[in-house]
Structure formats: structure tokens, C-alpha cells
Amino acid sequence: MSSLSDATSSGALSLDPSEVAKFSAIADEWWDEKGKFGVLHKFNPVRISYIIEQVTAHFHRDPFADKPLKGLRFLDIGCGGGLLSEPLARKGAQIVAVDPSEKNIKTAMVHAKENELDIDYRATTAEQLAQDGELFDVVLNMEVIEHVTDPQTFTQTCASMVKPGGLMFMATMNRTLKSFGLAIIGAEYILRWMPKGTHQWEKFIKPEEYKQWLEQNGMQQDAMSGVTFNPITSKWRRSSDTAVNYMIVSSKPKVYQN
């Protein structure tokens, strides 16, 4: 494995220009619940509740408080139009949200301003933040890792920005036959939930692969949850089934040296 200094020296090692272009082309649709990101709007409540539940438990906060995340510094990597950043900011989190697409960041900034939310949006990469020595209580890597060129090094970079005692969240898709049938053939070609080519099955990450990368970088996996879609209710929910979508939360021990 390359060292962190090697990983961050370019500032954009994991950046895939084709992926940036793909999402930049539809940046104006981030907040259209019936548009190309409609499925993400439906998925959002599940991941928000999971993040709040895990963070408040870890940092001994009241999850039912008005702003249970107050005082905690969050990093939202690959924030897109801000679908995850905004709800967490409303819960009191201090958000730094980054995306390599300037069009995405512009969309996010305009929407946040319209809703009077103070979010630090930046058109940059995780590698650049790590190179600058940025540290966070919580790092969010949600639906991003399957779009980078080097997921193992990307995990190393993300982990380096977690403060000792902090958390990191990752959400992605498992590389299984079931995920190929549902997430690629079903979601993109039959149901057309998202544009064809949004995902590449060979880039999906198996949980055991990610767990190994975490351990190599001083992180320990705390919990994992699958996420499944109910076609009858048209809602997503947490599940023990991790064959397609799953989320993992990991922590860095308080006594840890990079």
C-alpha cells in the first residue's frame, strides 16, 4: 500500500474525470425529487437516521434533542447538491462539504443560501483536504467510493482525516450477482431510476474488502446495516440483507497515531 503522503501528493489521486463529468452534467437536478436523483431522495431518510443514531450513541448525545450534532465537525465527501449536508446542518453539525464538480457545489451553495443554512461548501477533493491536514469528528463517505479510481487508497485518505475518537461512515453497493441484477439491470435499465451507466458493477465493494482496508488504517468496524427497497410501499429501510446496499460505521481509537 502507498503511504498517505504519496496518496495525497497529487491532491486528486482517486478522482475519475469521467465520473465528475457524469454528475456535473445533471447538477441542476439534485433537488428535483422526481428527477434523476429521485431514488436518492427516497434513500436519504434511512442514511440520515442511521448517521444520527450512531453519532449520538458514540458521542453520548440525546438523539431527540433539537440539535444533537451541535459542536461536531463533519466532512461530507462527494456532497453533490447537498442532499445529506443540509439535514445534518439543521441538526447542528458544522459541515464541510466537498465535491470535485464546481457545478455541483454551485447548486449546493445556492440551495443552502435559499434555506438560510451555513454550510462550508468547497470544490475540492478528499486528497487535498488530507494534504492540508484537515481533521473531523465525523467523516461521511456515502455513495462515493464506487465512483473513485482507487478505493483502497481513498479509504486510507478518508481515515486519515478522522480525529482520534471519531467516526467514519461509508455507504455503497456490494459486488454480488444480486446487486448486478437489481442495482444495474433493474434500477438503470428496467425501472430507469437513474441514468444508464451511473454505476459500474465491477467497482462495487465487498464488505470484507472494506473492513480489511479499515483495519490497515487504524479504524475498527463498529456496525453494518443493509438497506433494502420495498416496492409496495416505495420506501427504503434498514435490513440484515447486505447483498445489494449497505452502510458501515467505523471508529478510530482515541489513542491512535497516524
**Domain span including residue 152:** 4-174+206-251
Residue type, 226: G
Angle, in degrees to the nearest 10, between helices 207-216 and 151-160: 50
Q: Residue 152 domain-assigned?
A: yes
Report the CATH number at residue 137.
3.40.50.150
| pLDDT at 1 (0 to 100) | 36
* Alpha carbon of residue 87 to chain centroid: 14
Q: Residue 256 domain-assigned?
A: no
Q: What's the number of domains the chain is made of?
A: 1
Q: Residue 190 domain-assigned?
A: no
The model's pLDDT over 48-93, given as tens digits with 9 standing for 90+, comes to 999 999 999 999 999 999 999 999 999 999 999 999 999 999 999 9
Gap between the Cα atoms of 117 and 125, Å rounded? 22
Q: Residue 188 domain-assigned?
A: no
77 neighbors 139 (Cβ within 8 angstroms): yes
Question: Could you tell me the three cell numbers for 247?
Answer: 452502510
- pLDDT tier for residue 11 given thresholds of 50, 70 and 90: very low
Question: Could you tell me the three cell numbers for 216?
Answer: 490497515
- Range with the lowest mean pLDDT among 42-56, 106-120, 181-195? 181-195
Question: Could you tell me the three cell numbers for 127?
Answer: 486528497
pTM of the model: 0.85
